[in-house]
């Protein structure tokens, strides 16, 4: 089996690192050769893909790929890679499974209520509307060509190198407080494990990949500060906070996202909630990555 990860960023590197244990070869793309060493350190074979042109090198690799993970953000027309494919099998005749990394942002706002994969997407932001288009394009392509395509809807991603400890250390942690606001989150290693489970089972469809405990963002910062033994940042009322339009838009979406569907497959989260996860990173001194 051979895997290609399009856009091997934070999640892609974690998936690739785990996949190297069972796959003969794992490639990961980046726009810049400057990132080759980072991908190589995760066990991936790096190559350049600018998102618009399939090079001769990439074309040859696609001919060998059995499993594909797409992590590159779409645009207003949907998925950029699919625009380059007359059909999936044209470029990837050996393809058995594809995974598309999406976001729980497609659900929009539910005023703190629980949602699952049966909820009709009601995205608020342009970036989430683009994700819905891309999700549908991938699912339709899989249906047409009889290829299992899984859409993984990811919540707020964190892990070693990207977490509340890092933000506290570099002075960017803020405790924004908005009444009754909660966020769902997921440790990056559990994204990788969920992806490999779906590959092993050859499953397609929609799957929320999010931990068991939606919680206010300020609670996470406070818990991390207490573990570090540093001062808890002061509360900042959301209404008076200086935020970028994108940051403010995140607070316009308030929901709790269920993970029952993937758990029903027998998947057990290694990091089921932020307290256990942060405590583990702190105890192992792995939080800097």
d(CA 255, CA 31): 34
8 Å CB contact between 210 and 261: no
**What's the rounded mean pLDDT across residues 226-242?**
93
8 Å CB contact between 199 and 265: no
| pTM for the predicted model, two decimal places | 0.97
Q: What pLDDT, on a 0 to 100 scale, did the predictor assign at position 249?
A: 86
Place of tokens 């397609």: 204
Q: How confident is the model at residue 87 (pLDDT cuts 50, 70, 90)?
A: very high
d(CA 82, CA 90): 11
- Options 3.40.50.1360, 3.40.50.720, 3.30.930.10, 3.40.30.10; CATH for 2-157+186-211+257-269 is 3.40.50.720
Place of tokens 């810049």: 32
Characterize 110-124 residue by residue with b for buried, 16 or more Cβ atoms within 10 angstroms of its Cβ, and e for exposed. Answer: eeeeebebebebebe
Q: What pLDDT, on a 0 to 100 scale, did the predictor assign at position 245?
A: 84
Q: What percent of the chain has pLDDT over 70?
A: 100
d(CA 280, CA 284): 6
What pLDDT, in 10s, does the model give residues 132-169? 999 999 999 999 999 999 999 999 999 999 999 999 99
Task: Report which of 172, 262, 180 is spatially closest to residue 215, judged by C-alpha positions.
Answer: 180
- Round the CA-based radius of gyration of the chain to a whole number and report it: 19
| Cα→Cα distances 71→51, 101, 181, Å | 11, 5, 28
**What's the rounded mean pLDDT across residues 197-215?**
98
Q: What pLDDT, on a 0 to 100 scale, did the predictor assign at position 127?
A: 94
| Residue 273 backbone class (left: φ over 0; alpha: ψ -120 to 50; beta: rest) | beta
Q: Name the residue ranges covered by the structural domains of the chain.
A: 2-157+186-211+257-269
């Amino acid at each position: 089996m051979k895997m290609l990860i399009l856009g091997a960023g934070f999640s892609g590197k974690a998936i690739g690192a785990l996949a190297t244990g069972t796959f003969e070869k794992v490639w990961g793309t980046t726009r810049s050769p400057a990132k080759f060493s980072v991908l190589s350190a995760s066990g991936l074979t790096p190559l350049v893909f600018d998102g618009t042109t399939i090079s001769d090198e990439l074309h040859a690799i696609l001919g060998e790929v059995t499993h594909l993970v797409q992590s590159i953000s779409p645009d207003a027309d949907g998925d950029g890679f699919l625009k380059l494919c007359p059909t999936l099998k044209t470029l990837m005749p050996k393809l058995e499974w594809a995974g598309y990394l999406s976001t729980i942002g497609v659900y929009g706002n539910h005023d703190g209520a629980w949602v699952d994969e049966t909820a009709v997407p009601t995205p608020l932001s342009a970036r989430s509307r683009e994700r819905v288009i891309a999700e549908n394009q991938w699912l339709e392509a899989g249906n047409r060509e009889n290829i299992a395509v899984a859409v993984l809807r990811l919540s707020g991603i964190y892990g070693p190198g990207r977490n509340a400890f890092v933000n506290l250390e570099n002075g960017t942690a803020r405790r924004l407080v908005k009444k009754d606001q909660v966020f769902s989150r997921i440790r990056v290693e559990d994204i990788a494990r969920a992806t490999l489970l779906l590959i092993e089972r050859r499953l397609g469809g929609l799957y929320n990949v999010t931990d068991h405990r939606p919680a206010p963002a300020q609670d996470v910062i406070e818990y991390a500060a207490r573990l570090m033994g540093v001062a808890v940042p002061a509360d900042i009322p959301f209404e008076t906070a200086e935020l970028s339009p994108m940051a403010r838009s995140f607070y316009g979406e308030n929901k709790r996202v269920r993970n029952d569907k993937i758990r029903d497959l027998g998947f057990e989260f290694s990091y089921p909630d932020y307290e256990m996860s942060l405590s583990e990173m702190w105890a192992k001194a792995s939080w800097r990555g």
